[in-house]
Structure 1
Amino acid sequence: MRYAIISDIHGNAEALSAVLNDISGRKVDSIICLGDVVGYYPDPEKCIELVKENADFCVAGNHDYAAIGRIDTQNFTYYAFAAMEWTKQNLSQKSKDFLKSLPLTIEKDGMFFTHSSPSNPQDWVYVFPDSEEAIFEAFNSLVYKLNFIGHTHWPSIMIQQDDRIVLHSDHLIKIDKECNYLINVGSVGQPRDFDSRSCYVIYDSGTTEITINRVTYDFKVTQDKIRENHLPQFLAERLEKGR
């Protein structure tokens, strides 16, 4: 089986369409979405429809929960808060019902999928490559060997072998059955690792290979939509910077 794992779309339809087009040429059997379908960008409805049409499974992210009132947005940044208020006003009830139906975690084919840290998914902890405490807490909570997360918008492959945790720098690895893995699949709609290209992961259970894939899309179209909908200009600028 070949699995494509996507995350953090954030209402960016141009990015999601480009990623889905890339996936379509890679003989993928199943698409799994790790949440934050909405928030920040001006196509939440279209992105929800594309996820419903293409993803076999989807979990909820914190922005998805914010859009349906399940978490408080007072701790959001100004830009996230302003975009979320816009998103709430522009989501149909049908789309809100879809977001309400999403679980926080999925366990499938011996793998674990969630938006944030596996240790406490409902707390929305960020597991950055340099977040030592969050990394150890995440690994200590693992039940499965293969675990996929999003949330940070920063792709990474973290490997636990015995008592040692290593950050793998390559974009292609082969799974060692003696190790535990925490794979951050990056962001489709708002990459923050200084690379403006969309990001997603493919796992091939046949070859036991994991690849981090990058996809170029026309972010200028998204930038124009941001301005047309009077969303914060910073959200347009960061698409070009990948940060």
Structure 2
Amino acid sequence: MKLALVSDLHSNKEAADAVFAHIRAQGIQTMICLGDIVGYGPDPEHCVDLVRGHAEVTVLGNHDEALFHDAADFNPHARLAIDWTRDRLRPRWWSSSERKSRWRWLSQLPHRHTMGRYSFVHGSTRDPVREYVLSTDGFLNPAKLRGIFDSFEGVAFCGHTHHPGIHSEDLRFQGLEGADELTVALPEGHKFIVNVGSVGQPRDGDNRACYAVVTEEAVTWHRVAYDYRATMDKIMATGALHEILARRLALGK
């Protein structure tokens, strides 16, 4: 088994294209997407079609869900981006069949997926769409993290925080710390929570796109450089998405 795990593309075409090319170059045939295909960025149609055409399984992210429900709990910039994205994607009666099928596919995404000892969610196994598993939870909120560990068996893979790394049962977190690539063993009989990082909007201080490859024994994260300046320019050119959504791409924050 060898799976590519992507998450949090956030309508970033340049990052998504670079990551998918990196995955193809390794000869990996199977991909799972952990949600948040849309939101924040300028190219929702491209990213939805890319995931829909290549991922074997895609689970629902909170930004994907917000297209169909309420983004009232989002910050103003994220909420505006959802409103803009919804207007781009939602079909009208005269819309093309492709636009309608794209919207229908998004509306039917499952909350979780299980494969052997591996569970795949966007947020956490306790709340698969919205709960954040933060890198700081082990020492700032240990009761929360223990509760999440109690909610699953095996290894849980998630996204949502845009901060790649791994929590072990002792509640410690290991991040990438700027590494181009990092491999961590996943021995049987132990629990781990693995955050695969963000393709389209990294927030761990590294502006390169991030994704993970998992086998039966280990997980490996990869950082992939992309033309974030092109994405920044397109965000600004929309006249609707806030400039902070562009600036943070350069910072990886």
TM-score tier by shorter-chain length is over 0.9
Counterparts in 2 of 1:45-194, with a 5 A limit?
45-69=45-69, 72-91=70-89, 92-122=99-129, 124-131=130-137, 132=141, 133-143=143-153, 145-160=154-169, 164-169=170-175, 171-194=182-205
Identity of aligned residues (%): 37
Count of paired positions? 234
Match of 1:240 in 2: 250
Asked if the contact 1:67/1:96 (under 8 Å) is kept, the reply is: no
2: CA distance between counterparts of 1:199 and 1:125?
21
Match of 2:230 in 1: 221
In structure 2, stretches of 5+ residues that fail to align are: 90-98, 177-181
Q: Deviations over 1:12-40 (max 9, x none)?
A: 11100000000011121310000000011
2: CA distance between counterparts of 1:93 and 1:5?
27
Q: Deviations over 1:81-131 (max 9, x none)?
A: 111110011013332211111000001233100000111224x11101112
> RMSD between aligned alpha carbons?
1.3
2: CA distance between counterparts of 1:97 and 1:196?
32
TM-score (norm 1): 0.92
Q: Deviations over 1:51-93 (max 9, x none)?
A: 0111111000000011122xx2111111101111100110133
Q: Does residue 43 of the first structure (1) align with residue 43 of the second (2)?
A: yes
Give 1:169 deviation, angstroms.
Answer: 4.3
Asked if the contact 2:197/2:211 (under 8 Å) is kept, the reply is: yes
TM-score (norm 2): 0.89
Asked if the contact 2:164/2:175 (under 8 Å) is kept, the reply is: no
In structure 1, stretches of 5+ residues that fail to align are: none
Asked if the contact 1:68/1:99 (under 8 Å) is kept, the reply is: no
